[in-house]
């Protein structure tokens, strides 16, 4: 098939390697043989299409999923999903999950000695609007220890999962909070070599989305892979 407009290869240093020794679990889970670089075909420039019918309006408010209010600091997390050409990615599914305010996940393998919150499940989802915007209301997640190295703590973070418009734009990432002192020690954060790319994962405090007397706003813009060539725009 001709006329396939492919997606750009990553800019060096902006994506993690599969083998990153400071994150110990990568050692037995990274491929050891060279990856095969095939051409992008119709199978990869397409991908599952989700829409507003796949989510319910309440899915994006994690503070209203149970009878009571969850414990912790309410926050608004919002932003835009763009591609590498700066274009909005509209109508795309955004999934999110996170720990509660004490740094605990309601998951059987999370044995951290911190309380569960019966009013907080920590999962949400939404679909971006025509301008690529999304918005969640949630609770600021707590930091928590893990066993990667001595006295290892994860910085506060929120997991994001996005599809974009193709199999090739699929992305799972994490959002961090500005000024978190744990960031320089966190191998998930440091696995991205390029400093600007690393800092792209840190949200910014956002006065405009802060709700008076209710919730602080954090803005987190996400950039998905973009097309190699963009259709020529008509010159005036």
Region near other proteins per CB under 8 A, out of 68-76, 127-135, 164-172, 206-214:
164-172
- Helix, strand or coil, per DSSP, at residue 110: coil
**Per CB under 8 A, 229 contacts other proteins:** no
Which of 155, 164, 207 lies closest to 183 in space, CA to CA? 155
Alpha carbons 230 and 236: distance in angstroms, whole number: 17
C-beta of 79 vs 217, nearer to other proteins: 79
Tell me the sheet residues that pair with 126. Answer: 94
Q: Report DSSP state, residue 195.
A: H
Within residues 126-155, the interface with other proteins by CB under 8 A covers none
Q: Which is nearer to other proteins, 76 or 201 (CB)?
A: 201
The one segment of 70-78, 126-134, 198-206, 210-218 that binds other proteins by CB under 8 A: 198-206
User: Which of the following is catalytic: 7, 20, 23, 144?
Assistant: 144
Where does 155-203 have alpha helices with state H? 187-190, 195-199
- Taking the complex as a whole, the smallest distance from the CB of residue 113 to other proteins amounts, in Å, to 16
Is 154 an active-site residue? yes
66 catalytic? Reply is no
What does the alpha-carbon distance between residue 116 and residue 111 come to, in Å, rounded to a whole number?
Answer: 10
Determine the size of the site formed for other proteins (CB under 8 A).
81
Q: Which residues contact 164 (CB under 8 A, 6 or more apart)?
A: 47, 81, 83, 89, 92, 170, 171, 224, 225
Q: In the bound complex, what is the minimum distance in angstroms from residue 136's beta carbon to other proteins?
A: 12
CA–CA gap between residue 15 and residue 198 (Å, rounded):
9
Catalytic residue among 105, 134, 176, 218: 105
Question: Could you say which of 77, 89, 156, 192 contacts other proteins (CB under 8 A)?
Answer: 192
Identify residues 61-120 at the interface with other proteins (CB under 8 A). 82-86, 95-97, 99, 105-107, 109-110
Active site residues: 105, 144, 154, 157, 159
């Amino acid at each position: 098939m001709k006329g396939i407009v492919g997606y750009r290869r990553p800019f060096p240093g902006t994506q993690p390697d599969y083998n990153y020794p400071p994150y110990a679990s990568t050692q037995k889970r990274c491929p050891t043989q060279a990856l095969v670089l095939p051409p992008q075909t119709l199978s990869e420039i397409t991908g599952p299409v989700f829409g507003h019918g796949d989510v319910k309006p309440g899915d994006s408010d994690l503070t209203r999923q149970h009878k009571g209010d969850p414990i912790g600091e309410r926050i608004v997390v919002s932003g835009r999903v763009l591609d590498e050409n700066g274009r909005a990615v509209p109508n795309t599914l955004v999934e999110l999950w996170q720990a509660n305010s004490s740094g605990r996940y309601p998951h059987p393998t999370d044995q951290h000695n911190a309380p569960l919150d019966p009013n907080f499940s920590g999962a949400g989802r939404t679909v971006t609007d025509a301008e690529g915007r999304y918005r969640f209301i949630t609770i600021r997640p707590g930091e928590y220890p893990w066993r990667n190295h001595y006295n290892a703590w994860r910085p506060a973070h929120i997991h994001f999962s996005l599809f974009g418009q193709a199999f090739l734009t699929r992305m799972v990432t994490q959002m961090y909070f500005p000024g978190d002192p744990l960031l320089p020690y966190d191998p998930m954060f440091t696995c991205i070599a390029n400093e600007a790319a690393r800092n792209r994962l840190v949200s910014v405090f956002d006065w405009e989305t802060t709700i008076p007397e209710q919730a602080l706003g954090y803005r987190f813009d996400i950039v998905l892979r973009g097309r190699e060539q963009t259709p020529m725009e008509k010159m005036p």
